[in-house]
Amino acid sequence: MSVAAPEPEPGSRPGPLAALRDAVGWATWLLPFIPIAIAFEIAGAGATAVFFTSALAVVPTAAVMGRATEELAARSGPGVGGVLNVTFGNAPELIIALVALSEGLHEVVKASLIGSIIGNVLLVLGASMVVGGVSGGRHRGGTQTFSRQGASAQSAMLLLAAAALVMPAIYELVVGTGLPLPGAQRIDYEGDVETLSLVVALILMVSYVAGLFFSLKTHRKLFNPESEEDHEGEPWSVRKSVIALAVAGLAVGGMSELLVGSIQETAAQAGLTEFFIGAIVVAIVGNAAEHWVAVLVAKKDKMDLAVNISIGSSAQIGLFVAPLLVLASFVLGPHPMALVFNGFELGAVLLAVLIAGNVTNEGESNWFEGLQLLAVYLVIAVTFLVA
């Protein structure tokens, strides 16, 4: 959450440090991990040290993205603001995934995709409901409200995306060699399943473009209802927000190189599988912007935007990010990446999308409902850990 900075004297402007603290709040304390990660890499301090410092270094840059997109969202309403947030919020994850793809870590990429979907639906939405119910909804008995129609539309898109994503795995399970094991690094699926994955990717991307047209043009009022917006601190200009997003993106790119390059050795040294690291650690780091912004706006009693960010981001992962990575795999890496997920990933994503539809069908949320979402996420994370 943003940390309140001392008010400047009349006529004065905040210094660079104060402006930075206003941008990233508590994440200011994680900024030193950027030079630390670089120093560890240069000094050869070890893969584990590089991995965890570079992972922590991604968080403040994602927080800058969160602040910048919140400024843009404040001028656009919860619908358009949600699209902006999920677009830039998924940028760190997309950058990390592209780097991993170029290294041939296909199963890590697929694990991070599923981890992002379940993380947004269970972890981010759950945390938003807990914080929003305790703070934002305190005047209504701890209950917050949001657009039932908008949330249902987002949940439906997520369900349809998940249905398309699991079909190549079902095809491989029925007529192929079977699903990959959690400990696999990369499997070369040749022939029909690669073609099927490519066709599914193209269909999903067309569906994503149609979804943007639906939410921003033909049904804009459904996703962008009028609301009174408040603002804390000095507003950012559009130019300042765009520059902040660009600089943060470059920083994420640099840290992603270090993060991905140390995954395999870190997994071996820490006794963890690359599957768990991709689905939980990398997914959380890559989606830190959603964590930051969704909880922040829920605390401000803007649950419409929080729901749009969490579920809308998951839908974007399925409809845009995953298909884009499939297309990119034909250029990056040793061979194309097929959309064949392992059994744990399939079970987790199907449960997540069903839960998303269930918890949003009434247009209300409370802290206990959020706590239950967090509990389900913890159960899945523990299962991934021991898989």
Q: Where are the beta strands (DSSP E) in 99-186?
A: 143-145
**Residue 106 near residue 337 (C-beta atoms within 8 A):** yes
Give strand pairing partners of 364: 145
Query: Which residues, in sequence order, are CB contacts of 26 under 8 Å at separation 6+?
Result: 1, 3
Q: Region 302-313: what's the mean pLDDT?
A: 86
**Contact between residue 5 and residue 14 where contact means Cβ atoms under 8 Å apart:** yes
Say which DSSP state 233 is in: S
Beta-strand (E) ranges in the chain? 143-145, 364-366
Asked if pLDDT for residue 167 goes beyond 90, the answer is yes
Q: Is the pLDDT of residue 228 over 60?
A: no
Is the model's pLDDT at 72 over the cut of 50?
Answer: yes
Determine the average pLDDT of the residues in 206-211.
Answer: 87
The pLDDT, as a whole number, for residue 13 is 43
**Mind listing the domains of the chain with CATH numbers?**
16-386 (1.20.1420.30)
Per-residue pLDDT averaged across 96-104, rounded? 90
Neighbours of 214 (CB within 10 A): 16
Return the pLDDT at 201. 95
Q: Write out the two tokens for 334.
A: 């040793």
- At residue 349, does pLDDT exceed 90? yes
Question: So what's the pLDDT on residue 374?
Answer: 95
CA nearest neighbour of 165 among 207, 125, 219: 207
Count the Cβ atoms, other than its own, within 10 Å of residue 375: 12
pLDDT band at 90 (very low <50, low <70, confident <90, very high): confident
pLDDT(67) > 80: no
Q: How many CA atoms lie within 13 A of 371 on its CB side?
A: 5
Backbone angles phi, psi at 231, to 5 degrees: -140, 135
User: Taking Cα atoms as reference points, which of 200, 225, 222, 195 lies closest to residue 211?
Assistant: 222
What distance in Å separates the CA atoms of residue 191 and residue 326, rounded to the nearest whole number?
Answer: 15
pLDDT of residue 378: 96
Evaluate whether 229 touches 74 at the Cβ level (below 8 Å).
yes
Nearest alpha carbon to residue 19 among 172, 256, 236, 189: 236
In this structure, the strands spanning 143-145 and 364-366 are antiparallel
- DSSP at 10: T
- 126 pLDDT band (50/70/90 cuts)? very high
Q: What integer pLDDT is reported at residue 271 of this predicted model?
A: 85
* Tokens found for residue 317: 């992962």
Q: Which two tokens stand for residue 331?
A: 């250029």
Taking CA atoms, 12 is separated from 224, 231, 324, in Å, by 36, 20, 46
Q: How far apart are alpha carbons 22 and 13 in whole angstroms?
A: 13
- Write down the residue that tokens 């439906």 correspond to: 156
Which one is predicted more confidently, 31 or 5? 31
pLDDT at 214: 78
Position 30: which residue type?
Answer: L
Confidence of residue 9 (pLDDT cuts 50, 70, 90): very low
- Percentage above 70 pLDDT, the chain: 81
Of residues 240 and 217, more confidence is placed in 240
Please say if the pLDDT value at position 12 is more than 60. Answer: no
Looking at residue 222, its pLDDT comes to: 64
Contacts of 125 by beta carbon, 8 Å cutoff, 6+ apart: 294, 306, 307, 310, 311, 356, 359, 370, 373
